[in-house]
Structure 1
């Protein structure tokens, strides 16, 4: 599919399966994978590993600066799958962000912002989170978007999903009049058989694995749906510049469209929080 791809979160689970699928499809494709730990098995010689703690905004800034300085070949595909499954309450990183929200939202948006100059004019950006379930401005706590005082697992999920929807629409809108045709996809992977369930409390693992055994697909099947769906969505909604796809890679219809004012509020909040985190990381 792509000749050069970068998969953040590509060291395990869905991201690893997507990276392997891309590398296997063409020996001419270079696939870079990044995460905290290098996989024990890298099955294709055209996969390269670069270390990154994607929960740290300052590390992301350093990583993207180094990437842009070292690579003259633009990216065809940027895939963002980093994440964590946890039942813990708000758990702050050294930069003052909830770790779950840092991985699922803030870090992903910073990676897009910093790597935009490194993308081809017709590149695709895939955010694997939850592009299926309804998300809307009404689900946000507008005066506490980073959930300093209103944190719950449900609020964190709603905020990350909803703000991602707002941002993909905002990224697409920014291309108007530039001649660029980068397509932004918010994807829902569904239930996938990865090792994430092992991170649940012991008393929840049995039921989760039983349910997963009945409903889950393999990471390889999910990767196929996500990659094929991205290609088809980019064709179907080329004029719009953004898409949400479900666990079979089908375009989700009737997603709420955010107003310019709502998108601007999310963007301003996002960059304010990100810049504060980068400053805190630099001072640590």
Structure 2
């Protein structure tokens, strides 16, 4: 089946493996990969590269505006996959737009890409956010007065806020699919597990050997991870549609995660309002 897919963060690691799997399944598919740097050796002729600084809200807005400006046949998406991220032990490090770089990549930029690309998602499109669909604390553990962690930043808080707010947002997008004239798009928050990638290169030199050794013992290959992510996406979306559910959390083997904290409509609304305020303020500040 021919698929038009966009994989942000698809220039390496898990994202590139997912892009290659989709491209290999059908030569008539088109797969766009986006990130800072073009891979030296793109394995499939039906993969194309478009540059994007996914940590910048202004750059994302420019990118999505350009993407939406072409004819429908050249832009309508079956699949949007968001894998961009960074592994860093540094404290809060703000971008020029005033957002912590880790949170910009892992959360805010991903939400902006979904919002801006919703008009070009087909009615049955799938959106996959690869972060951590298994964990994520209950809403009560969020710092509701400081969701972007301007004053309460720590690596643990940043991870929990990004994961938990992603849980809320997939439910918010899914709620838009209900109704007589709504589509059947499915929004997935996925946990990739431990994967053998070059992300350890960003660690201090003295931690790399141990981390790599542990990775070889316990991690799966990017291709295996991609297989689980793609299969789980389509299986959970099909099952969800039958149940009238348009979001899923999946684990590292692509299985549906059912035991997750409950979010109230009010809590989801607060996350939405916060998210769009931070993003819109960043775009205005950099315009």
Shorter-chain TM band: over 0.9
Partner of 1:154: 156
Map 1:16-27 → 2, pairs under 5 A: 16-27=16-27
Residues 135, 165 of structure 1: 8 Å contact kept:
no
Find 2:262's aligned residue among 240, 244, 257.
Answer: 257
The structure-2 alpha-carbon separation of the partners of 1:71 and 1:225, relative to structure 1 and needing over 3 Å to count, comes to farther
Find 1:208's aligned residue among 211, 214, 227.
Answer: 211
Decide which moves more: 38-47 or 203-212: 203-212
List 4+ stretches of structure 1 deviating above 6 A: none
Structure 2, gaps ≥5 residues long: none
Find 1:271's aligned residue among 260, 263, 276.
Answer: 276
Structure 1, gaps ≥5 residues long: none
Partner of 2:119: 117
Per-residue CA distance 1:5-49 (angstroms, 9 max, x = gap): 000000000000000110011001000000011110111110011
Residues 56, 95 of structure 1: 8 Å contact kept:
yes
The structure-2 alpha-carbon separation of the partners of 1:10 and 1:183, relative to structure 1 and needing over 3 Å to count, comes to same
Decide which moves more: 1-10 or 121-130: 1-10
Find 1:234's aligned residue among 233, 237, 262.
Answer: 237
Per-residue CA distance 1:94-148 (angstroms, 9 max, x = gap): 1110000000000000000000000000000000000011432022100000000
Residues 136, 160 of structure 2: 8 Å contact kept:
no
Give the TM-score normalised by structure 1.
0.97
Query: Secondary structure of the equivalent of 2:196?
Result: coil
Aligned residues: 282
Give the TM-score normalised by structure 2.
0.96
Per-residue CA distance 1:34-71 (angstroms, 9 max, x = gap): 00111101111100110000000011001001001024
Aligned-residue CA RMSD (Å): 0.9
